[in-house]
Chain A
Amino acid sequence: MESLTALKNSVIGGDEDSAADLTQRAIDANLAPKTILDDGLIAAMTIVGEQFKNHEVFLPEVLLAARAMNAAMEKLKPLLLSQNVPTLGRVVIGSVQGDLHDIGKNLVGIMLKGAGFEIIDLGHDVTPANFVDTAESESAGVIGMSALLTTTMPAMKQVVDLVHDRDLDSRIKTIVGGAPVTAEFASEINADAYGFDAASAVDRVKELLDITQ
């Protein structure tokens, strides 16, 4: 387990090369890929997430840690796939139709990816059909939508409704965010969750997918 402590520290410290290196060593030492993932990488990102919330580290450190985690994942992914270890889950994200604000959405994507989710980023000005089609075809469990304009918020409802119309509610959860969006609005349009920043987006998505870590 000592090697996992070192791996964890390399991710927390944002050291891309050594994170990849230590992952390879853990693999060579026959540690189970799922253990490396859960107790090494995701555990590290959980700590970084906490430190970020407490202002012990700032956003750049979180992004560096996420990058180190991704480098490690490159090594781990083939094994996880071959052993059918499920990833944390797939999330389709985008800024809704008519909205060009994508800074917040990008941050949410980076943080989710850093936390171990697979992200399919559709960019900005994304049509409701594109959100739902992609989630369906890519078997994503969550659709994350961002809106920064009051004029584009109604597009979020269209996505939620479309998920419902296609009878996908049990398979696809929706989460919404962006400066004008509120928890009340989310429940008004029957979205499954609301997150006020990128860190809370991670917590909410974990809840949606019943991930306890």
Chain B
Amino acid sequence: MKPSVSFLSKELLERIVSEARDVLADVGVEVHNNDVIALLSDHGARVDTAKNRVFLPGDLIDRALSTAPRSFKLYDALGQETHDFASDQTYFTPGSAAIYVLDSDTGKMRASTTDDYVKYARIISQLPYIASQSTSMVPSDVPERISDSYRLYLSLISGCKPVVTGAFTIEAFEVMKDLQLIVRGSGDALRARPLTVFSCCPTAPLKWSDVTSQNVVDCARYSIPVEYISMPLSGFVAPVTIVGSLVQHTAETLSGVVISQLTNPGAPALYGGSPAIFDVRYETTPMGAVETMMIDCAYSEIGHYLGLPTQAYISLSDAKQLDAQAGLESSLGATLATLAGINEVSGPGMLDFESCFSLEKLVVDNEICGMMQRLGQGIVPRDDFPAVPHFQELLAEQHLLISEHTRRHLRTEHYFPGPVIDRANRSRWHEEGATTLRERASREVQRLLSEYEPYDLADEMRGELGQRMTSEAQRWDMDRLPHEEL
């Protein structure tokens, strides 16, 4: 049995969904994109043109839900299957789009650069418990207009894992799609083997901007998976209660499902989000708040009830350093997410309200993810019954260290953390330098960087990716991209 946690009774869950449907029908969503409004209106939604409000009737939502895929897969850059978003299997991906990095040498936050990104991409490709890359940082040393696409490019040339990403503008989608077409070879091949997931955010409350709604449509056209990232901020631009925030999250996310499915029935998507309570003392949106995590887990329950795979920004921290707060918030989130069966968990590596990335934190979080993989496997009997022979053996031999049963199951039953987790006895810990977590993490970062090996991306493809990215950079007056100097 997989261990699980549940926050909503069936009755409460169904009430939340039905209230959200009422909200969509009676209050509607504001859409700032004429094509999307036309699409919705063509399919029977009522439109208040003066206010850009679209009212979504229940049958439209039902129709969208009936074509939305119950599961879908991701494949790495070489075409191998890496993710099967189905049932309650949990995968981890780093947090995304930080604008700062916690500098490994100085321990201070600074704007992230191409150099940081390349290091990140080399590390993530070697971390065993984080199944995909995300475009985790925004490099500040390239023109803003390519700061989204360039991340995807750097990821694709550095590591094989699929990429969770997103466009900052409508135009950027074009090049980000082209890069994927180059890797896969054709639109059909990309459709058959999705390589990325695009984050698309409705604006709280109940609004779709021009950019993000167009991103949803463009992704659906190419069957590029999206994750709808609804962000009710409880007590500010959403009701203060968890239930009220869930109603809003459900309504915003369902409106995303409708836009995708009307554009292309069957287009893959994750029922996702990045909600947060609003901390009225500091005017911040704490991702490490336990209530934030409760909203995440509960909407994932709703997503699963609706039959859709889910995603959440959970298992990240608001701390500014790799400290105990960072550890406790990240692991509390990761634990709850695993128990709630959230399918895609975005967070590892992230600090400071999704603004600052740390490579050291990433390798520590990889350990959390490893532990979560074990946690998720739960407790299952492994040749344990009948029990009597095991105890007869134990009494006869005085230990089970070399018993057949131990040798068979040791490595599946026990998870062995890497060198960042300290399990030495005190003397050995002293002897090995009495290191702190930060020191061990920083050592691990260095080790991974020195052991990095490029993956088997065909030279020809590498060249084509480079050409496409360079021509995009030239449009914005950059002739030579910074990674070429590294």
- Interface of A toward B, CB cutoff 8 Å: 55, 58-60, 98, 100, 103-104, 107, 149-154, 179-180, 197-198
Contact = CB atoms under 8 A, between A and B. Distances in A.
26 contacts: A55-B281, A58-B280, A58-B281, A59-B281, A59-B283, A98-B169, A100-B203, A103-B233, A103-B236, A104-B283, A107-B283, A150-B99, A150-B140, A150-B144, A150-B147, A151-B144, A151-B145, A151-B147, A151-B168, A152-B144, A154-B144, A179-B99, A179-B355, A180-B355, A197-B283, A198-B283
Given A151-B169, A180-B355, A60 B99 contact: no
A59 B278 CA distance: 10
Interface string B187-212: 00000000000000001000001010
A190 to B, nearest CB: 19
Q: Is the contact region of chain B dominated by helix, strand, or loop, or is it mixed?
A: loop
A180 B355 CA distance: 8
Nearest to A107: B283
Given A55-B281, A103-B233, A150 B138 contact: yes
Q: Is the contact region of chain A dominated by helix, strand, or loop, or is it mixed?
A: loop
A104 B278 CA distance: 12
A66 B29 CA distance: 30
Contacts of A100: 203, 209, 211
A198 B283 CA distance: 8
A60 B138 CA distance: 34
A111 B132 CA distance: 42
Given A149-B168, A152-B144, 6 more contacts: A59-B283, A100-B211, A103-B237, A107-B283, A150-B99, A150-B140
A150 B140 CA distance: 8
A202 to B, nearest CB: 13
Contacts of B233: 103
A180 B233 CA distance: 19
Interface string B149-173: 0000000000000000000110000
Nearest to B112: A150
A97 to B, nearest CB: 12
A204 to B, nearest CB: 16
Contacts of A180: 99, 355
A60 B283 contact: no
Interface string B324-357: 0000000000000000000000000000010100
Contacts of B353: 179
B172 to A, nearest CB: 9
A153 B99 CA distance: 12
Contacts of B280: 58-60
A98 B172 CA distance: 14
A150 B145 CA distance: 10
A2 B145 CA distance: 60
Interface string B136-148: 0010100011011
Contacts of B99: 150, 179-180
Nearest to A152: B144
A179 B109 CA distance: 13
A150 B209 CA distance: 18
Nearest to A101: B203
